[in-house]
């Protein structure tokens, strides 16, 4: 039997880290089993769902490197993969369930139901019974599923093991609203049945919905899929992951300069690992080793610092052209224009040094900005710390004169000349180089100074030393 799995984002926001993890695990399971990965859009909430969010979510999935075999934007044998385009189908199923006696119309008002609930309580019955009235057939109203009261709903979850819900844990819930809009339970189950989903892997927050979905599937006479409930995501403080902890949408991570490969790798670790102690692994290794049955049932901690560390590891592992290609858009964004060939060449000169010092791509842009414009503003903190000391004017003046005499403009020649100058002046290297760094790069934090000067060029270096000196007042 071909494995058919799906992810079902609701386009009411950007792709959430939790949904991205669910997408990733389903994708891995499909790829590990020569299966089919499906992306459908759970857009029954017509007011909050937008095309922009749907596009954004699909973009984020593609950015992460997850491709799908059937679904929104690629199509497939099942017609539409958008719930908003399948309302007819849900209504048809709901009516079939009424016809077979598995569901019924309920036209009672909320107050009446509240009364019944109270009566049930007074009679010592479980409130789950209050609503039952299969004998009184209304012909309009919401449609509710009639829950069999005689047996527990049980299943073997691939991750959580045996799970059992007592009948009274499940109320006669609404499957179709008066306005014809299906509830999540109905739409999701009909889709899973129609698309012949074999395994439903989704967040543990949806566990309470699962008995409802199993009962709808049974009432439809369909096979239930195998369920796998993925562990909840917590922040480092042990509380449920939310915006308070860190960014929770994939777009924010992409825009902050994270690499898709690093995010992919890190998301894998939220409940699973290739072998228990390897933290960095490739997509191929993950596909090779992945099994839903190996996912942990313990909550997983989402630690943005660890993700950042991992991103740095991925950046350092890139070859130079790849690093430059990834960093360039961030540099151009920061500079506000495209770089010309000569400028890209000067970036290349220090790119390897920048790469070593970068955990996030925009940091690379920060480090090389000085190459692509004038230093018309100095970082205020750097200036106050470094440039207000005694002797700075002398150091900058001497460096400017000394560098004018350097013939071969290369990092080693610049280094030799500045070191011998400082030793003649009896000034320590650290103390002597810091003002030059601020003058040339605008900041006391920069790539190594001699290489930075080499990349900047002789005349511009000298001009900046002079300009900073003039700026001292």
Closer to ligand GLU by CB, 206 or 220: give it: 206
Binding track, positions 25-54, relative to ligand GLU; x by CB under 6 A = -----------------x------------
Q: Give least dist CB 22 to ligand GLU, A.
A: 7
Q: Is 243 a catalytic residue?
A: yes
Of 243, 297, 306, 333, catalytic:
243
- Judged by CB under 6 A, the residue of 4, 10, 354, 451 near ligand GLU is 10
Closer to ligand GLU by CB, 129 or 202: give it: 202
Q: Give least dist CB 9 to ligand GLU, A.
A: 5
Closer to ligand GLU by CB, 185 or 254: give it: 185
* Stretch of residues binding ligand GLU (CB under 6 A), selected from 7-15, 45-53, 332-340, 404-412: 7-15
Nearest-5° Cα angle at 52, 207 to 42: 25
Closer to ligand GLU by CB, 8 or 102: give it: 8
Closer to ligand GLU by CB, 72 or 414: give it: 72
CA distances from 454 to 42, 148, 290, 411, 430 (A): 56, 79, 48, 5, 19
Closer to ligand GLU by CB, 116 or 206: give it: 206
Q: Give the Cα separation of 277 and 263 in Å (integer).
A: 18
Q: Is 51 exposed, middle or buried (0-12, 13-18, 19+ CB in 10 A)?
A: exposed
- Judged by CB under 6 A, the residue of 3, 9, 190, 331 near ligand GLU is 9
Q: Give least dist CB 316 to ligand GLU, A.
A: 35
Q: Give the Cα separation of 119 and 10 in Å (integer).
A: 38
Q: Establish if 60 lies at the interface with ligand GLU (CB under 6 A).
A: no
Residues 6+ apart with CB under 8 A from 314: 259, 261, 262, 265, 280
Residue count at the site for ligand GLU (CB under 6 A)?
8
Q: Give the Cα separation of 190 and 42 in Å (integer).
A: 12
Q: Virtual CA dihedral for 103, 109, 110, 112, nearest 10 degrees?
A: -100
By CB under 6 A, the residues from 193 to 252 that bind ligand GLU are: 202, 206
CA distances from 137 to 27, 98, 101, 176 (A): 45, 10, 10, 16
- Judged by CB under 6 A, the residue of 146, 188, 198, 355 near ligand GLU is 188
Task: Say if CB 335 and CB 369 are below 8 A apart.
Answer: yes
- Judged by CB under 6 A, the residue of 4, 5, 15, 19 near ligand GLU is 19
Check residue 83 and report its DSSP letter: G
Q: Establish if 311 lies at the interface with ligand GLU (CB under 6 A).
A: no
Closest Cα partner for 56 from 96, 124, 10?
A: 10
Structure tokens at 377: 């503003």
- Judged by CB under 6 A, the residue of 5, 8, 176, 351 near ligand GLU is 8
Instruction: Give the containing element (helix H, strand E) for 233.
Output: strand 233-234
Instruction: Give the containing element (helix H, strand E) for 201.
Output: strand 199-203
Closer to ligand GLU by CB, 56 or 257: give it: 56
Binding residues vs ligand GLU (CB under 6 A): 8-10, 19, 42, 188, 202, 206
> Would you name the residues annotated as active-site residues?
243
């Amino acid at each position: 039997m071909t494995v058919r799995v799906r992810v079902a984002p609701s386009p009411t926001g950007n792709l959430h880290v939790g949904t991205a993890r669910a997408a990733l695990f389903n994708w891995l399971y499909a790829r590990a089993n020569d299966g089919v990965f499906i992306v459908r859009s759970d857009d029954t909430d017509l007011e909050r769902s937008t095309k922009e969010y749907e596009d954004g979510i699909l973009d984020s999935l593609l950015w992460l490197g997850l491709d799908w075999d059937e679904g929104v934007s690629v199509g497939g044998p099942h017609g539409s993969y958008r719930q908003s385009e399948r309302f007819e189908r849900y209504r048809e199923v709901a009516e079939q369930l009424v016809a077979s006696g598995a569901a019924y119309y309920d036209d009672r008002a909320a107050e009446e139901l509240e009364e019944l609930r109270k009566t049930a309580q007074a009679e010592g019955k479980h409130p789950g019974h209050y609503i039952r009235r299969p004998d009184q057939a209304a012909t309009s109203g919401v449609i509710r599923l009639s829950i069999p009261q005689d047996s527990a709903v049980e299943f073997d979850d691939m991750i959580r093991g045996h799970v059992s819900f007592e009948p009274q844990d499940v109320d006669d819930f609404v499957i179709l609203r008066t306005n014809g809009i299906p509830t999540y339970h109905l739409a999701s189950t009909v889709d899973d049945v129609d698309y012949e989903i074999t395994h439903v892997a989704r967040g543990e927050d949806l566990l309470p919905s699962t008995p409802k979905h199993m009962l709808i599937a049974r009432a439809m006479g369909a096979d239930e899929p195998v369920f796998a409930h993925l562990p909840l995501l917590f922040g480092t403080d042990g509380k449920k992951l939310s915006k308070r902890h860190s960014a929770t949408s994939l777009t924010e991570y992409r825009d902050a300069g994270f690499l898709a490969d690093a995010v992919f790798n890190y998301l894998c670790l939220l409940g699973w690992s290739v072998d228990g102690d390897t933290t960095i692994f490739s997509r191929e290794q993950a596909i090779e080793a992945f099994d839903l049955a190996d996912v942990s049932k313990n909550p997983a901690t989402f630690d943005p610092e660890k993700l950042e560390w991992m991103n740095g590891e991925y950046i350092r592992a890139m070859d130079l052209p790849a690093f430059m290609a990834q960093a360039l858009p961030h540099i151009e964004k920061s500079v506000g224009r495209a770089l010309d060939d000569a400028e890209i060449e000067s970036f290349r000169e220090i790119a390897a040094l920048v790469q070593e010092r970068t955990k996030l791509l925009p940091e690379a842009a920060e480090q090389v900005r000085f190459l692509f414009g004038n230093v018309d503003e100095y970082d205020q903190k750097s200036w106050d710390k470094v440039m207000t000391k005694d002797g700075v004017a002398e150091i900058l003046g001497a460096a400017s004169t000394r560098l004018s005499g350097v013939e071969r403009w290369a990092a080693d020649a610049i280094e030799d000349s500045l070191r011998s100058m400082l030793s003649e002046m009896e000034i320590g290297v650290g103390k002597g180089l810091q003002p030059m760094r601020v003058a040339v790069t605008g900041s006391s934090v920069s790539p190594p100074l001699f290489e930075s000067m080499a990349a900047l060029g002789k005349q511009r270096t000298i001009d900046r030393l002079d300009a900073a000196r003039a700026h001292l007042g």
